[in-house]
């Protein structure tokens, strides 16, 4: 069963939305519970597909996951962790990239892991070579098998001196989740230090892990034999908050995002202000609004933290189609993250994508045939169109473009958006969006 949204555009989004725990932390904190020998409690958990997928995967391994019907808080008890028949895990193949992070905890818990071929958004080929190299350096044996990868460590995992070729968030998480109970010291240089990484370190520290983040992006972990449980409130989702902020600009609206955290969005807020967006930063959230005048074009380059987050660029590109002049976006984290612009061009946007690095520094993708720079000319009048959602953030961008466009748009494939945006159709209704949802077979 899938749903189709019929959107009648031209209505400014105004009102209040509440943003809860970060999609890019909560599933990882759930996996971390498997490392403990006591139950853990995770709070501020959003109702999103990625949480459902990881809940199923953990239950397959004997972890009990109980959700509080009122608060949504999760209690995870790893006591009965056991190996799952690999066929059962296959049922979840293609849903998410999180399964790869089960390797370390499963090896510590039961000595082996079978990880299905991975899913996740189609924004590049999303390799896992860093993950597998890290596991090998910890002493694991990695074997490709039909439908996935079998990983084992007969002698357990031992600490290692690891250098990441790129500050990969996932690979950093792989190290954290494997090293905390490995024998000896692990030193990770070239680590990712995103807010979600720091929050995962906070979770592990609560369990008894000894982890320090040094000034040169090196993370040092002293392995311990046992870990306890944690009680943790997940940080809020800065990507969802930034998405609603862009929606306010695109639709000339005014949205209070309850839960938006200035600390985690500093770079985004600077960019938002430079584009000409209005904001009131409060203790319980941030009000984002269109100030009525022109929007300013800008030159933007995505980067790892504390740079401009790659997940923020797609919704903001829609706002740049309304800016008065030429903007340039150089995407340096993923090689293929401008596919969503095809639909915007069909709606009337003026966007060209290029192979060159159109930014201050050449990135890994220069001269490798990847269309990873975009030139956006505005303002352009967007017209409604039929759209099929390509991925999570691109899909949200299509929604806000359709909400701003004149005329009607028919948007299919919106179930992908449930992966990372909690109750987004209810939130759109609450903001005054004019649309119908119909379910198709
Ligand atoms: C996480 O993905 C997030 N997803 C992404 O958010 C986010 O965009 C990304 O980090 C960067 O911040 C989750 O946390 C679930 P990476 P991840 O490893 O860990 C390359 C969203 O919309 N790479 O930091 O998969 C990779 O191809 C999603 O919420 C390798 O080459 O990202 C990419 O070019 C989208 N080999 C770069 O590193 C590897 O083994 C960054 O990837 C791993 C990664």
Q: In the numeric block, which tokens belong to residue 226?
A: 């046992």
Instruction: Look at ligand 1, atom 17, and give the residue with the nearest C-alpha.
Output: 170
- Work out whether strand 373-378 and strand 277-281 pair parallel, antiparallel, or are unpaired: unpaired
Q: Is 336 annotated as a binding residue?
A: no
Q: Is 103 a catalytic residue?
A: no
Token duo for residue 208: 């008894």
187 CB-contact burial (10 Å; exposed 0-12 / middle 13-18 / buried 19+) = middle
Q: What is the reported pTM?
A: 0.96
Cβ partners under 8 Å of residue 367, min gap 6: 355
User: In this structure, what token pair is assigned to residue 392?
Assistant: 């999570």
Å from CA of 124 to ligand 1 middle: 10
Give the per-residue SS3 of the chain.
Answer: CEEEEEEECCCCCEEEEECCECCCCHHHHHHHHHHCCCCEEEECCCCCHHHHHHHHHHHHCCCEEEECCCCCCEEEECCCCCCCCHHHHHCCCCCCCHHHHHHHHHHHHHCEEEEECCCCCCCCCCCCHHHHHHHHHCCCEEEEECCEEEEECCCCCECCEEECCCCCHHHHHHHHHHHCCCECEEEEECCCCCHHHHHHHHHHHHHCCEEEECCCCCEEEECCCCCCCCEEECCECHHHHHHHHHHHHHCCCEEEEECCCCHHHHHHHHHHHHHCEEEEECCCEEEEEECCCCECCCEEEECCCCCECHHHHHHHHHHHCCECEEEEEECCCCCCCCCCHHHHHHCCCEEEEECCCCCCCCCCCCCCCCCCEEEEEECCCCECCEEECCCHHHHHHHHHHHHHCECEEEEECHHHHHHCCCCHHHHHHHCCCEEEEEEEC
Per-residue model confidence (pLDDT) at position 128:
86
Choose one of 49, 101, 135, 170 to mutate for the ligand 1 pocket test, by most ligand atoms within 8 angstroms of C-beta. 170
In angstroms, the CA 7 to CA 402 distance is 7
Ligand 1 is surrounded, with C-beta below 6 A, by 23-24, 97, 121, 124, 126-131, 166, 168-171, 192, 194, 239, 310-311, 333-334, 392-393, 420
The residue whose C-alpha atom lies closest to atom 11 belonging to ligand 1 is 169
Structure tokens at 221: 């972990």
Q: How many angstroms does the Cα of residue 168 sit away from the middle of ligand 1?
A: 6
Give nearest CA residue, ligand 1 atom 44.
Answer: 168
Q: What are the mean pLDDT values of the chain's consecutive 10-residue runs (441 residues total)?
A: 90 98 98 96 96 90 94 95 62 70 90 76 74 96 86 94 96 98 97 98 98 95 97 98 98 98 98 98 98 96 97 98 98 95 98 94 89 98 96 95 97 92 97 93 66
Q: How many CB atoms lie within 10 A of CB 2?
A: 11
pLDDT of residue 71: 95
- pLDDT tens profile 379-426: 999 999 999 998 899 999 999 999 999 999 999 999 999 889 999 999
d(CA 87, ligand 1 centre) in Å: 26
d(CA 408, CA 385): 7
What pLDDT score was predicted for residue 278? 98
Q: Residue whose CA is closest, atom 7 of ligand 1? A: 311
Site of tokens 């998405």? 243
Rounded to whole angstroms, how far apart are CA atoms 66 and 74?
6
CA-wise closest residue to 265 among 229, 237, 246, 291 = 237
pLDDT score recorded for residue 109: 86
Contact call for residues 440 and 287 (beta carbons, < 8 A): no
Q: Is 294 annotated as a binding residue?
A: no
Tell me if 311 sits within 8 A of 199, measured CB to CB. no
Protein residue with least CA distance to atom 19, ligand 1: 170
Which residue among 175, 302, 333 is best mutated to probe the pocket of ligand 1, counting the most ligand atoms within 8 A of its Cβ? 333
**Dihedral angle, C-alpha 329, 331, 332, 336, nearest 10 °:** -150
pLDDT for residue 164: 96
Amino acid 355: pLDDT? 95
What's the gap in Å between 252 CA and the centre of ligand 1? 31
Q: Write down all domains in the chain, each with its CATH number in brackets.
A: 2-19+236-440 (3.65.10.10), 26-233 (3.65.10.10)
Predicted pLDDT at 93: 59
Residue-wise pLDDT for 243-273, tens only, equals: 999 999 999 999 999 999 999 999 999 999 9
- Give one word for 432, left, alpha or beta, with left for phi > 0 and alpha for psi -120 to 50: left
Sheet containing 231-233: which strands, arranged edge to edge? Answer: 64-67, 74-77, 40-43, 231-233
């Amino acid at each position: 069963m899938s749903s189709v949204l019929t959107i009648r555009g031209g209505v400014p989004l105004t009102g209040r939305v509440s943003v809860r725990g970060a999609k890019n932390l909560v599933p990882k904190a759930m996996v971390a519970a498997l490392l403990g020998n006591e139950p853990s409690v995770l709070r501020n958990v959003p109702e999103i597909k990625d949480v459902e997928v990881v809940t199923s995967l953990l239950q397959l391994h004997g972890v009990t996951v109980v959700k509080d019907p009122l608060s949504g808080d999760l209690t995870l008890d790893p006591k009965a962790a056991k190996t799952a028949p690999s066929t059962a895990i296959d049922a979840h193949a293609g849903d998410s990239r999180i399964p790869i992070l089960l390797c370390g905890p499963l090896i510590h818990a039961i000595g082996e892991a079978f990880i299905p071929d991975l899913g996740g958004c189609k924004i590049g080929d999303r390799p896992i070579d860093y993950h597998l190299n890290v596991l090998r350096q910890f002493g694991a044996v990695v074997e490709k098998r039909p439908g996935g990868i079998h990983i084992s460590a007969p002698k357990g995992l031992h600490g290692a001196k690891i250098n990441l070729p790129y500050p990969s968030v996932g690979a950093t998480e792989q190290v954290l989740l494997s090293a905390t109970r490995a024998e000896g010291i692990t030193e990770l240089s070239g680590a990712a230090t995103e807010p979600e990484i720091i929050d995962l370190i906070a979770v592990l520290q609560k369990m008894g892990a000894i982890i320090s983040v040094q000034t040169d992006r090196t993370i040092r972990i002293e392995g311990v034999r046992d870990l306890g449980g944690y009680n943790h409130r997940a940080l809020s989702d800065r990507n969802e908050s930034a998405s609603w902020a862009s929606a306010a600009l695109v639709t000339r609206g005014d949205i209070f995002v309850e839960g938006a955290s200035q600390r985690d969005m500093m770079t985004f807020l600077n960019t938002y202000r430079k584009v000409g967006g209005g904001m009131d930063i409060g203790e319980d959230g941030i009000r984002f609004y269109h100030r009525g005048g022109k929007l300013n074009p800008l030159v933007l380059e995505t980067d790892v933290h504390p740079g401009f987050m790659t997940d923020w660029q797609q919704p903001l590109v829609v706002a740049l189609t309304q800016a008065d002049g030429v903007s340039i976006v150089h995407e340096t984290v993923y090689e293929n993250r401008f596919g969503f612009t095809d639909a915007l061009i069909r709606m009337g946007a003026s966007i060209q994508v290029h192979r060159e690095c159109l930014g201050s520094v050449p990135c890994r993708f220069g001269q490798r045939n990847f269309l990873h720079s975009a030139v956006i000319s505005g303002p352009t009048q967007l017209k409604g169109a039929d759209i099929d959602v390509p991925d999570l953030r691109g899909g949200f961008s299509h929604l806000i473009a359709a909400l701003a466009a004149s005329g009607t748009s028919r948007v299919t494939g919106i179930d992908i958006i449930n992966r990372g945006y909690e109750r987004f159709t209810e939130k759109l209704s609450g903001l005054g969006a004019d649309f119908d949802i119909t379910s198709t077979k």
